[in-house]
Amino acid sequence: MNAPLPDVPEVRVVGLPQLTTGFDLVERLDLSMHLKVHGPLEPVTGERLAQLAEAISLRGRGGAGFPFGQKLRAVAKAAIRRGVRPVVVVNGSEGEPPCRKDTVMLNRAPHLILDGALLAAEALGARTLIVGVTRNSTEASIRAALAERGLSDRPTRRGNQLRARVVRTPERMVSGEASSLIRAVNGGPALPPGRRERASEAGVGGLPTLLSNAETFAQLAVAARIGTERYGNTGLPGEPGTVLLTISGAVARPMVVEVPTGVPLRYVLQLAGAPPLPQGVLTGGYHGNWIDAVSAHGAVISRESFSSVGGALGAGAILPIGPETCPLGEAQRVANWLAAETAGQCGPCRLGLPAAAGGLSDVLNGGGQAALEALREVMQAVRGRGACKHPDGSVRFFMSTLSAFTDDLAAHVLAGGCGRETTGVLPLPAPGYEEEGIPTGEKIAVDWTLCKGHGLCADIVPELIRLGPDGYPALADAAVPMHLQGRAQRAVSRCPALALRIEAAPPERPARPALPRSDRKALGSGQG
């Protein structure tokens, strides 16, 4: 199995750097080096900043792609209408295993992110800046950057009324959602609140809140320095500038690459050492879509191009897989992880995703057409009914997998398998990263010589155990999440036949290490 991606993988650039300027000089740009490389930045009024964002078609780079200028105007209007000062939040909570672009920026160019956030805060008249992070390295880097600017949670300089603080969230898929971060900042758990609220109206402390992804603020700072005309000279006319991508999966050199829009996807994959003819390319990460080798060959780096071939730019994660691995087996590993990432707050997430992961396992293990139809029914039941974006994003991944690998699906359904092992090229977290609500590394096991099919276990913990057509329990392949550990133990203790037990999940079989740790030389290679 692949090693997890390091916090800061190798960084490369295609063409002239904008976000990654100076990466060839130092490992991390402190404030002094940042100013030498990028120069000073003058304040911009709110209207001019909104016009700037609209002129460069700046959209959020965290996955949703919402127009930044529209968000900025909405926060300003809400603050004026209510007569309050808004809050600015940088979302650097990157909890998805194949995503590292924001982590790279927070570690290596934190001041470029702060430049954009402080521009927005000044333009809006905000007095509070919050940066959400998930990792030790990003927390240390951003705290150091705030200290270099003399910023803290209390005013420390005469005339400086801005208060800035860092909020640490668990390294989880659901913790990176905007509503989860706001809930964490407000003192609650880093989980979606289960209700739809606009941060621009009521976010941190109930105040209008401008929340955007770390790369988005860095792009804003670049555009404010070089102007719209020069910014627009790079990339496509409709999507100007550069984007940051995290390339992993079946590649020789996992990396974060800064690339202008319009560059062929095949060139970026070749740069990372992907297979010449990949079986498929997962675009947009684990809430994204698969595209085939032909589509990958013709696509260019842009939202529009990816969408036209059924892909998604999303948070900028690109993951090719080679012909040697079973694509459905790869999807099963991710499906188990997605199921364990449930926030546990609604039925589609708490019950549906484990059921879908179990259904995919049934298909892989020879369940035939009946198992495939059951899986499709589960996905249809989950779709569009979740309290947050995690169920829909996960179902999108499931459905894309089934439609992208039809030959492999037919082999599993009709012939009992495709004949290939699962080599584990899609990165997942290493054991021991767990926070509340994610896998414990334990699984429920059943002794079939004792089981009498009473079904009490399925009533107690339906997220992990469901009754099959024969009335006997069918167990999820996913590890027991932390938040279900108590109920799993209760199911074991209440089994009348003493047929259940909790045991350590078996380690996955190692495969070739396609995701090596980067070293100091790689970190300093910058523009190589």
Residue whose C-alpha is closest to residue 3's, from 451, 469, 498, 433: 433
> Which H or E run includes 280?
strand 280-283
- Quick one: 66 and 118 in the same domain? yes
In a domain, 423, yes or no: no
CB atoms within 10 A of CB 420: 16
Residues 95 and 133 in one domain: yes
- Residue 367: both structure tokens together: 């369940």
In terms of domains, do 90 and 194 share one?
yes
In a domain, 202, yes or no: yes
Query: Which tokens hold the place of 417?
Result: 């398998």
Contact 46, 124 (CB under 8 A): yes
Of 365, 380, 415, at which residue does a domain stop? Answer: 415
250 within some domain: yes
Q: Which of 271, 288, 323 is the last residue of a domain?
A: 323
Do 280 and 319 reside in the same domain of the chain?
Answer: yes
CATH of the domain at 192: 3.40.50.11540
47 and 174 part of one domain: yes
Task: Note whether residue 258 is domain-resident.
Answer: yes
Label residue 283 by pLDDT band (50, 70, 90). very high
Q: Which of 54-63, 87-96, 358-367, 470-479 has the lowest mean pLDDT?
A: 470-479
Domain of 271 in residue numbering reads as 242-323
Indicate the range of 330-344, 385-399, 481-495 predicted with least confidence.
481-495
Q: What is the pLDDT of residue 416?
A: 83
CATH number at residue 494: 3.30.70.20
Average pLDDT, the chain: 87
Q: Tokens 């860095």 — which residue? A: 218
pLDDT 10s digits, 178-209: 889 999 899 888 888 877 778 899 999 999 99
Residue 173 to residue 519: CA distance in whole angstroms:
27
pLDDT of residue 466: 73
Are residues 350 and 305 in contact, defined by beta-carbon separation less than 8 angstroms? no
pLDDT score recorded for residue 524: 33
Arithmetic mean of pLDDT, 93-117: 95
Average pLDDT over residues 336-354: 84
Compute the average pLDDT of residues 292-310. Answer: 95
- pLDDT for 156 equals 54
User: Could you report the per-residue pLDDT of 222-266, keeping only the tens digit for each?
Assistant: 999 999 999 999 999 999 999 999 999 999 999 999 999 999 999
C-alpha to C-alpha distance for 344 and 463, rounded to whole angstroms:
9
- Quote the CA–CA distance of 295 and 277 in Å, as a whole number: 11
Q: Do 115 and 49 lie in a common domain?
A: yes
Q: Is the pLDDT of residue 486 over 90?
A: no
- Stretch 455-473: mean pLDDT: 79
Same domain, 310 and 391: no
Query: 196 versus 91: which is more confidently predicted?
Result: 91
The answer to whether residue 397 is domain-embedded is: yes
Q: Does residue 319 have a pLDDT over 90?
A: yes
Neighbouring residues of 88: CB distance < 8 A, sequence distance ≥ 6: 117, 120, 121, 124, 126, 128, 129, 130, 209, 210, 211
How many domains does the chain divide into? 4
Same domain, 117 and 142: yes
pLDDT computed for residue 434 by the predictor: 44
Please indicate, yes or no, if residue 339 is contained in any of the structural domains. yes
Shared domain check, 165 and 25: yes
Q: What is the CATH number of the domain that holds 282?
A: 3.10.20.600
At residue 65's C-alpha, the angle toward residues 59 and 68, to 5°, is 35
pLDDT, position 515: 33
The enclosing domain of 349 has a CATH number of 1.20.1440.230
Q: Are residues 147 and 65 in the same domain?
A: yes
Q: Are 319 and 338 in a shared domain?
A: no
Q: How confident is the model at residue 120 (pLDDT cuts 50, 70, 90)?
A: very high
Check whether 20 has a pLDDT greater than 70.
Answer: yes
Please report whether residue 510 resides in a domain.
no
Cα distances (Å, whole numbers) of residue 440 to 258, 410, 466, 480, 484: 36, 34, 20, 6, 9
In a domain, 275, yes or no: yes
Length reported for the chain: 528
Shared domain check, 251 and 196: no
At which of 266, 291, 323 does a domain end?
A: 323
